[in-house]
């Protein structure tokens, strides 16, 4: 089975990492992700595609750690794109082309929104059972649907540099390896920047959403000032870790950012380094 082979690749990559064999780590991790991507492309089910992506997380982390250890910008970009591809390869939801599935979804929405008007307890119970049958039918057809079968390619540094020059932009790619953060900056030349351990950034992000929610609330002026001050301080501290270390390497007015899911909650345009870019 594919998942067994993927797990085997992950174990082999972990063993190679313990032995300090970086090239073998990268080879096993890449082979495992390639096999996973081929299987994803063969399936038209969003459920299956999403589930398969989860099985690649360990391979991605091993690959990123090994790539960063080489200090090779081209290798680091490759693994940043592999990680991003695994997360974004799931096909977007679109209206079903199958008439039977479309009809089942229409009935399912009606049952959820309206139930069974005028029905007593027995009728409501029948509606719940009918909804379960419809969900199973839709899910089963999704699992049987074939995918596009197309396996994407990973852009190289040689592809990215001229594309950035053509759009007058710099690239900042952030990589999360589980316990550390690294940035790759491409601004004519490519540079790697070690941003330090993940734990302090995670601590700052843990309270960020609450600060943003409070800042958007209608509060009395004295309390609003306190909330705004706390938010500004948190953003300044985030910028000190994520923005300032790469700011000196930026050469152009525009910046393209690619970030891992761990940093998805960062309001990048609110950081001084990236404001207006």
Compute the average pLDDT of residues 12-21. 96
DSSP 192: E
User: In the prediction, which pLDDT does 36 show?
Assistant: 86
The candidate with the shortest Cα–Cα distance to 91, out of 59, 52, 60, is 52
- pLDDT higher than 90, residue 153: no
Sheet harboring 180-187: ordered strands across?
Answer: 189-197, 180-187, 169-176, 254-258
- pLDDT higher than 80, residue 34: yes
User: In the prediction, which pLDDT does 149 show?
Assistant: 43
Tell me: the pLDDT tens digits for 177-216? 999 999 999 998 999 999 999 999 999 999 898 888 888 8
The candidate with the shortest Cα–Cα distance to 186, out of 173, 168, 196, 167, is 173
Tell me: the pLDDT tens digits for 77-124? 999 999 888 766 555 556 666 788 788 788 888 877 766 555 555 567
Long-range contacts of 218-221 (CB under 8 A, 24+ apart): none
At what angle are helices 99-114 and 121-144 packed, to 10 degrees? Answer: 150
216: helix, strand or coil: coil
* Token pair belonging to 206: 């843990």
Alpha-carbon Rg of the chain, whole angstroms?
24
The H helix count followed by the E strand count for the chain is 12, 4
94: helix, strand or coil: coil
Q: What is the pTM of this model?
A: 0.77
Tell me: the pLDDT tens digits for 123-151? 677 778 888 888 888 777 766 665 544 55
- pLDDT higher than 50, residue 233: yes
Average pLDDT across the chain, whole number: 86
Measure the CA–CA gap between 225 and 230, rounded to whole angstroms. 9
- 156 or 45: which leads in pLDDT: 156
């Amino acid at each position: 089975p594919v998942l067994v082979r993927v797990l085997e690749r992950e174990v082999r990559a972990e063993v190679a990492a313990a032995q300090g064999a970086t090239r073998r780590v990268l080879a096993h991790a890449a082979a495992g992700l390639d096999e996973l991507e081929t299987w994803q492309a063969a399936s038209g089910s969003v459920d299956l595609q999403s589930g398969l992506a989860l099985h690649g997380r360990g391979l991605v982390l091993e690959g990123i750690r090994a790539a960063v250890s080489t200090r090779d910008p081209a290798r680091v970009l490759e693994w940043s794109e592999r990680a991003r591809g695994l997360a974004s390869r799931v096909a977007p939801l679109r209206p079903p082309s199958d008439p039977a599935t479309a009809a089942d979804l229409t009935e399912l929405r009606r049952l959820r929104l309206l139930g069974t008007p005028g029905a007593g307890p027995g009728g409501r119970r029948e509606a719940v059972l009918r909804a379960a049958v419809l969900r199973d039918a839709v899910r089963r057809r999704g699992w049987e649907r074939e995918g596009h079968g197309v396996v994407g390619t990973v852009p190289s540094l040689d592809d990215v540099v001229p594309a950035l020059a053509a759009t007058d932009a710099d690239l900042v790619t952030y990589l999360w390896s589980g316990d550390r953060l690294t940035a790759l900056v491409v601004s004519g030349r490519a540079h790697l920047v070690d941003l330090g351990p993940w734990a302090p950034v995670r601590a700052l992000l843990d309270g960020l959403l609450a600060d943003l929610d409070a800042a958007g609330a209608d509060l009395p002026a004295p309390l609003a000032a306190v909330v705004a001050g706390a938010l500004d301080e948190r953003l300044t501290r985030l910028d000190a870790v994520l923005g300032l270390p790469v700011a000196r390497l930026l050469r152009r007015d525009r910046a393209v950012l690619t970030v891992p899911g761990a940093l998805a909650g960062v309001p990048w345009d609110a950081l001084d380094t990236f404001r207006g870019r």
